[in-house]
Structure 1
Amino acid sequence: MFSKYKYSIFISLFIILTPIITSALPVNDKPGQITISSPKINMVVEYGNKVSISSLTVNGQKVVSNDDGIYTSVIIGKTTYSSLHLKGKPIISNASGIVKVNGIKYGDKGLVITENWVFTKTNGGIKWNIERTFSKAVKVDEAAMPVINFDNINTWEGAYQGYGGLAWFYLFNERLCTYGVHTRTSNFWNSKSGNGLSITVDAPGKEVAMKYTRTNTDKLAYTIAVSEKEMLPRTDSGTNRRRFIRNSANVWAAFNVAAGKTSQSITFNYFNYEDKYGRGDLKGVNGKQVNAVLSTIARIGVIDSLHYGGNSWHTPYGPICLHEQYIGQLGLGINDPAYLNGYKSCLDYYRDHAIKPDGRVYSRWAYTNEDAMPGKYNKEGFYEAQWGILMDSNPDFVSNVADLYNMTGDKNWVKTHQKSCEKALNWILKRDSNGNGLVEMMTDSYTQKKSSDWIDIIWASYENAFVNAKLYHALVKWAAIERQLKNNTEAAYYENFAAKLKASFNKPVTEGGFWDEQNKCYVHWRDKDGSVHGRNMVTPVNFMAIAYGICDNYDRKKVILDTIEAQMKQEKLFFWPLTMTSYAPGEGRESQYPFPEYENGDLFLSWGSIGVQAYADYDPAIALKYVKNVLKQYSKDGLAYQRYGRLKQDGRGDDILSGNSLSIVGLYKSIYGINPLYNRFYLEPHIIPELSGTELKYYFRGQRLIVGLNTGDFSVSNNNFKIVSHKNFGYYATKNQLSYFDGNNEVASLQITTNHPLVLTINKWTQEKMEWEETTTSPSATPLNYHVQQLKPNTLYAFSVNNKVIQKLKSNTKGELTLNHQLSGTSAHLSIYDAD
């Protein structure tokens, strides 16, 4: 046992050898450590000759457990300064749950970096404030605030970015892979443990970038950088916009840091993966696989906060094809508000930098200019592809704007795109020189060996059905938006052009159209000399004709879909190829022959949503079969390829396309029938018995909806209101008002205003009679207000409750009526019917 004298010496030595501590350590902490805990986040700060966070635990799972786990650093040239090697002892204080670490100094004689750290508990998390001061202005190669070294590259499956993209660590398939992005939030997740960690940076007036590196020891190094100006990719030679690199952690270029003080805060919060990203109870399909495909594959075409496309950030040259009309539609399946908001910013950027003054939309963007036509690119990296002027980028820009507007309902945003969308459409509409409604490509003949659409090494020329189908789709969508923006003149112009295009498209090839009666399909293109090409059942052309409503002839739909399905069974293909038979000699690049090869016959999953949509209305069982086939393939190889070969159905190409998820998007859109529209949630399912009982969780306008899908009825609900119907309908709810839209009508048929929860079951809805059931948890103390629209104008209607006429009232000149009624019980049968 110590004597009093020995005990005094021990205390003196302890004070000399440790930093100043202004309050007692927590009971369980060791000297040189202090623990900071919130309900789900726990961290241990080490201090002494260094300061770092040596342990980070998330919901009981230790994700950082090493001495250099989390620290700050500055790299200049080959020299690294960090909080792991200090110039003196910091000062520690712990009062009222706030931990402060002041006087953290590192650097050398020429440069001193001083930092003060403050840790504060928040609701469910921990907030870490970092104040940093540079003694002089300096150019740095890296200024990490901080570096977080997670224990293993597999600690997390990935990290969702604040703009909806994904750092997917499955793709970090070798050491020193690094991916850099511009975002303020990173949501790390692991679907197996269910744990999620959200890290958010607050640095007002500053730019924030992050990078993810698989280290030489297979840790995951996550680095946050804050700067005055946007961080730029490192350029080793020539033009480089590369975000993903190998064999290095130096993804960002060096940047200048001013002398003086900067500050930022980093907030750590836990989330449950299933609660945040779960999709509900999916019957008849593997729900975990559906979630995995839409949570990973669908997002990997988002290269950075302003660059959304179909080719992943992992590919060597990172191309973005602006001639893809389904990028916005991916958001329907991803169903993350961050993706939708991020894509708004992306399309703003494309509007400002990818559209030429004359309205031409550049077709591509890439890390480098190697795929560009000589001199046909701009400083932001947008370019014309070497294969030809790919005309579908013009209508596809418009379609993506329209789709995103429908998903967000943001009219103020879409107004900012009105002029640019008009300009993009008008540029291509001027390409109809002969006035037949079919726009013409830049080339007149396949012999010129230049492409004009997404199938970029097939020499489609002059009047191209592929491009014209996409144009029709864009015209229909944009005309509706013009009407919503009260521009009826432009709306009528686009509607009329679409009608003429449709009529010419459907004409037989003998009369200047695209319908090939001999081969029972729509052809790919017509040359200026009248010769017809691509008579080999090009599936995207024929699927688009059906899905976009160009082909409304049932017999044609049937023969196309039956012919394709018969050959699919014969060849036992798991997915639709680009073409059912070969292009004729000379119609494509020489490398595409003999058939099948690449774009002349291989299987590209990016056309899955269109294929599923084409079949869903005709035979949903066939549509579902190919959805399940894609999920089965995912279980084998993760869909980790660009395409699949025709003969062996083997994966080919090392670029994983986000379009590989589009069959699953088609499941949501065309089978489950989920179609968010600008003023309502529209539900039009094609449910077969094996899917009956599906219950989906779906985000819509800040609400988490529950969508019930049965073979006999469908339902949509939030926390207060629910609508049940046996047919398609639209749903919209605010705090006190529920709106029912009959069928695909864009005007609410019935609006009920009430302060009580309500279930509305639609039995019948016509102009002559509307009949429904209402159920509530308790009788209303105040009358419910009913506003009914789309009735016969100036017509007398009877309002009945439980088969008793309560009152009669006349609709106005617009076919509307309004009434109030207080229900006496928890359920009632109501109807309004023509009383004349």
Structure 2
Amino acid sequence: MKREYSIRNKINPNGYYLLMLLLIFIYPSILNAYNDSLKGGTRHADAEIKKHIYHNAASKTVRITDSADNLGILIDYSKGCKITGLNVKGKNTLSSSGVYTCFSTRGGKFSSCNSTSGIEVKKTDGGITMSNIVYGDNSINVNESWDFKLVDDKIFWKIDRRYSNLAKLEETAFPQWSFASLSVWKGGILDNGGMVWCKYLATVNDTYGVHTGGVTFWNPDSGDALRIAAKSDEKKYIAAKYSQSEKNEFTFTQSVTDVELEPRYNLNRFVEKKADVFSAFDVQKGNTSINLEIQYIDYEKEYSRGKLPAIDAEAVRELLNTTGRYGVVDNNIVGANGWTTNWKCLHEPFFAQIGMALNDENYTRNLSSTLDQERNYAITADGRVLSRWHNADDDQMPGTFNYKTGYYEARWGYTVDSQTGYIINTAEQFDLCGDIDWLRSHKESCEKALGWLIKRDSNNNGIFEMVNSSIAEQKASDWLDIVWASFENGFVNAQMYEALRLWANCELILGDKEKSDYYFSVASRLKENFNKPVDNGGFWSPQKKQYVYWRDKDGTVHGDNLVTPVNFAVIAFGLCDDKERIAVILNEIEKRTVAEKLFHWPLCFDSYKREEVHLNNWPFPKYENGDIFPTWGYLGIRAYVGYNKETALKYIRNILEQYNKDGLSSQRYSRDTQLGQGSDILAGICTSITALYRDIYGIRPKWNRMGVEPNMLKTLNGTEFSYKLRGTDYHLALSVDDYTISTSEFTLRSKSKLGVNKSGTILTYYPDNKEEMTLAIDSKSEHPIYIDVISWKTGTYSWKINSKDDYGFSLTGLIPEAVYKLLINGRAETVKADKGGRILREHHNDGKTATFILKKM
């Protein structure tokens, strides 16, 4: 009989059964692993997703954590559906209310926490879905599905809602996030460039509503932040509100509607002790949805200000992220007075400068649309720029308030610096956004605004006049709105000089040289007449060694009490370039500031006369008659930086020290006590720090390049930070006479001011950050370009290339048809500029340093 060959004959029976069991359980795993290897590891990815998405059917919960375990959510669907846990670095940030959806009608409030049907849970590719979440009443109900997906460090949450009927809703939550208390986060950075500051939701139901839904909440003590981005169908509108609930929770409520929500109380974005900041709205039968991206953010890394020797970088970061952003009231309303008082003054010229320092593309985008809004609704047919936006008419000059748009003239008088504020902000905003079509859309309105003021020169002396003629009218004409400055106002005219020059440059870029020349000539005449002694019709007081504030129509001179914003503006804007005058003014201001031990400059050092100011300014020092308003700090920094950089730096540090004491949450500071005063917080208080970036670090973006024009001190040597401009990340390294700008595509080092732009294979260097000359370097490959500019003086230009490649060099701005000597590594040749003043040269660099020197022969 033939014997069968069997594995059973090789091992004992017990071993045989054990082997069978191992094959049954292990072989499929081995096969799956093999299949995974063939499919690129997809099953491994599925395993990772399962590891971070855990469904417990018994307890009816779902837990989702990001790939790094920095962020986790716990969803409970036992009765309805809500997120009961939102863990940030292992700590639950939510109250017992959690995160849920809801809506309310006059018939009541209904939420996802109590579903009238059984919730269905289904695992999906890379996520999990909860559907059939039903709530409401007989008049209207909704059916929702919540779809969660995990992609690396982000949790994606899509909420689909179907309304059963047409209805009017009082409110909706899509969803509402309830954090344990107002102390969980310091605030939230909004995706329109603004911020919500939790401490200003001071009482129950204090509520701030905005027409945007994305936010990054942060806690500077822990360094943790939570980003919630929101998107919906482009035909829908997203809004959000932030409030302190009756349970003392910090709530964040998002909404999606068919029409933009209207404020319920006048034009208020912020209301006290009322949670219903938005008006009721209609919903249609059918579907709507929202897509949320939830992500843990390393706050210190994401919002790092870099390495700032001798500067409190943390205070810089917090000051800009709070006070600096606070002036954003809503979409299309970027200002400085802020959202708690629902105010914006158009007669402030520093909004674009704040955007430059914030370096937030959301703020920049919002400011562009704000200026568009003002162009469309705040400029009259004859070119007058209305001075303010407010939520109600209590501040209006009778009959001027527009109840739909909120723009009006202030009751204190025609504040004519709204003309110059609009121009300055538009010109500087163009340097940030770089959108020439956007600038062109403001050409007519800017020309009208300038023209309105240019026409106000009845005596034809080149100095522009206010609407009020004398102090007897008791009306204001500029930002200091309860000081009766009139007729020929030095402060407004100094700003007019800056506005004229900035806009003249814009006209040149737009190709209108005739208009450009005209505005430059108007500015030149203003400068000439402004600087004359007061007895000859100018503003210079030889007796007081200062510029006076204003002159009434009858020739009476007022404001020789050393008004700081006036004298600072004259120097900062270049209206005064007399070194002796500059020294006298700035030395006197510093002497008196030090003598009083003030941390910042007051609005004036001596008192106005009683008849020159409103009663609220009396007795001196009080309010605009002698108190400290840091809002105009940037003018002081800019004035001092060209005379004494150490003094400029001192007051920058002083502002940072003050922020660490009180958060700069004031309108002004008492001259006597140096304690904060006033409920109308001013974002402009941050301008001394915007000047740190503009006038010390020298951040000067231009519409077609990144530029730096530093005024560095040795104590600041080694400063390094990143700056993002129009989608490009630049790394800056700054020391005295040593400036480097680099990206992944190039490194350019210079001893003097510079501008630089990389487009395709061409790197363009702008000496002194101007366009009169350029050096364009065209590389034949995509390798990074390394260039050192050795010297760039008239007639002699020298640079080094430290990277291997074939290059084409193009120099423009040379003398047309002039002959130059070109030395490359000491080897000389003669080259001639063409009729356009350009020289072209190609060079192969073998990887060693190549030195170029071009000299006029």
Bin for the TM-score computed over the shorter chain: over 0.9
Residue pair 1:49, 1:88 contacting (<8 A) in 2 also: no
One-letter amino acid of the counterpart of residue 366, structure 2: G
Match of residue 413 from structure 1? 438
One-letter amino acid of the counterpart of residue 46, structure 1: D
Task: Give the alignment partner of residue 171 of structure 1, picking from 200, 215, 238.
Answer: 200
Task: Give the alignment partner of residue 473 of structure 2, picking from 435, 441, 448.
Answer: 448
Distance in 1, Cα, partners of 2:737 & 2:519? 39
SS of the equivalent of 2:294 reads strand
Structure 1 residues 192 and 29: CA distance shift in structure 2, 3 A: farther
Distance in 2, Cα, partners of 1:72 & 1:830? 67
Residue pair 2:55, 2:61 contacting (<8 A) in 1 also: no
Distance in 1, Cα, partners of 2:810 & 2:248? 63
1:663 corresponds to 2:685: no
Task: Give the alignment partner of residue 816 of structure 2, picking from 763, 772, 793.
Answer: 793
Match of residue 242 from structure 2? 212
Task: Give the alignment partner of residue 51 of structure 1, picking from 48, 73, 81.
Answer: 81
What does residue range 238-637 of structure 1 map to in structure 2 within 5 Å? 240-315=266-341, 318-379=342-403, 380-637=405-662
Distance in 2, Cα, partners of 1:307 & 1:27? 45
Residue pair 2:156, 2:291 contacting (<8 A) in 1 also: yes
- How far apart are 1:212 and its partner, in Å? 0.9
Distance in 2, Cα, partners of 1:275 & 1:410? 30
1:784 corresponds to 2:787: no
Distance in 2, Cα, partners of 1:518 & 1:768? 45
SS of the equivalent of 1:677 reads coil
Distance in 2, Cα, partners of 1:574 & 1:697? 30
Distance in 1, Cα, partners of 2:55 & 2:595? 73
Match of residue 815 from structure 1? 837
Distance in 2, Cα, partners of 1:26 & 1:335? 40
Match of residue 155 from structure 1? 184
- How far apart are 1:96 and its partner, in Å? 2.3
SS of the equivalent of 1:103 reads strand
- How far apart are 1:758 and its partner, in Å? 2.4
One-letter amino acid of the counterpart of residue 775, structure 1: N
One-letter amino acid of the counterpart of residue 585, structure 2: I
- How far apart are 1:173 and its partner, in Å? 2.6
What does residue range 654-803 of structure 1 map to in structure 2 within 5 Å? 654-754=679-779, 755-776=782-803, 779-780=804-805, 783-803=806-826
- How far apart are 1:27 and its partner, in Å? 6.8
Match of residue 9 from structure 1? none
- How far apart are 1:459 and its partner, in Å? 0.6
Match of residue 830 from structure 1? 852
1:664-719 deviations in Å (ceiling 9; x for gaps): 11111111111112222222212122111111221222122222121241221122
Distance in 2, Cα, partners of 1:712 & 1:487? 36
Where structure 1 has 5 or more consecutive residues not aligned to the other structure, the ranges are: 1-22
Distance in 1, Cα, partners of 2:850 & 2:512? 43
Distance in 2, Cα, partners of 1:175 & 1:277? 31
SS of the equivalent of 2:274 reads coil
Distance in 1, Cα, partners of 2:55 & 2:240? 36
- How far apart are 1:796 and its partner, in Å? 3.1
Residue pair 2:626, 2:671 contacting (<8 A) in 1 also: yes
Distance in 2, Cα, partners of 1:170 & 1:333? 24
- How far apart are 1:57 and its partner, in Å? 2.8
Distance in 2, Cα, partners of 1:303 & 1:374? 24
Identity %: 38
Match of residue 12 from structure 2? none
1:147-170 deviations in Å (ceiling 9; x for gaps): 111233222222111110111113
SS of the equivalent of 1:730 reads strand
- How far apart are 1:260 and its partner, in Å? 1.9
Task: Give the alignment partner of residue 117 of structure 2, picking from 73, 80, 88.
Answer: 88
1:137-192 deviations in Å (ceiling 9; x for gaps): 11111111111112332222221111101111132233322111011321222233
Structure 1 residues 797 and 152: CA distance shift in structure 2, 3 A: same
RMSD: 1.8
Distance in 2, Cα, partners of 1:458 & 1:156? 40
More divergent stretch after superposition (127-136 vs 356-365): 127-136
Structure 1 residues 29 and 816: CA distance shift in structure 2, 3 A: farther
- How far apart are 1:78 and its partner, in Å? 6.1
Residue pair 2:59, 2:78 contacting (<8 A) in 1 also: no
Distance in 2, Cα, partners of 1:606 & 1:591? 20
Distance in 1, Cα, partners of 2:432 & 2:182? 35
Residue pair 1:177, 1:244 contacting (<8 A) in 2 also: yes
Larger-Rg structure: 2
What does residue range 641-656 of structure 1 map to in structure 2 within 5 Å? 641-656=666-681
- How far apart are 1:246 and its partner, in Å? 2.1
Residue pair 1:609, 1:663 contacting (<8 A) in 2 also: yes
Match of residue 259 from structure 2? 229
SS of the equivalent of 1:296 reads helix
Distance in 1, Cα, partners of 2:600 & 2:187? 28
Distance in 1, Cα, partners of 2:199 & 2:359? 22
Match of residue 12 from structure 1? none
- How far apart are 1:295 and its partner, in Å? 1.4
Residue pair 2:54, 2:64 contacting (<8 A) in 1 also: no
Residue pair 2:239, 2:256 contacting (<8 A) in 1 also: yes
1:508-529 deviations in Å (ceiling 9; x for gaps): 1101111111111111111111
Match of residue 31 from structure 1? 59
Distance in 1, Cα, partners of 2:122 & 2:275? 35
Distance in 2, Cα, partners of 1:137 & 1:697? 51
TM-score by length of 1: 0.93
- How far apart are 1:103 and its partner, in Å? 1.1
Match of residue 138 from structure 1? 167
More divergent stretch after superposition (402-411 vs 822-831): 822-831
Structure 1 residues 747 and 196: CA distance shift in structure 2, 3 A: farther
1:78-130 deviations in Å (ceiling 9; x for gaps): 61101111111111101322311121111122222111222222353122222
- How far apart are 1:748 and its partner, in Å? 4.9
More divergent stretch after superposition (113-122 vs 744-753): 744-753
Residue pair 2:95, 2:249 contacting (<8 A) in 1 also: no
Distance in 2, Cα, partners of 1:262 & 1:514? 63
- How far apart are 1:759 and its partner, in Å? 2.4
Residue pair 2:263, 2:269 contacting (<8 A) in 1 also: yes
Residue pair 1:163, 1:343 contacting (<8 A) in 2 also: no
More divergent stretch after superposition (200-209 vs 151-160): 151-160
Distance in 1, Cα, partners of 2:185 & 2:223? 10
Distance in 1, Cα, partners of 2:490 & 2:153? 56
- How far apart are 1:767 and its partner, in Å? 4.2
SS of the equivalent of 2:368 reads helix
More divergent stretch after superposition (712-721 vs 459-468): 712-721
1:185 corresponds to 2:214: yes
- How far apart are 1:59 and its partner, in Å? 4.8
- How far apart are 1:131 and its partner, in Å? 1.6
- How far apart are 1:28 and its partner, in Å? 6.5
Distance in 1, Cα, partners of 2:493 & 2:351? 19
Distance in 1, Cα, partners of 2:56 & 2:716? 54
One-letter amino acid of the counterpart of residue 354, structure 2: L
SS of the equivalent of 2:461 reads coil
- How far apart are 1:769 and its partner, in Å? 2.2
More divergent stretch after superposition (682-691 vs 38-47): 38-47
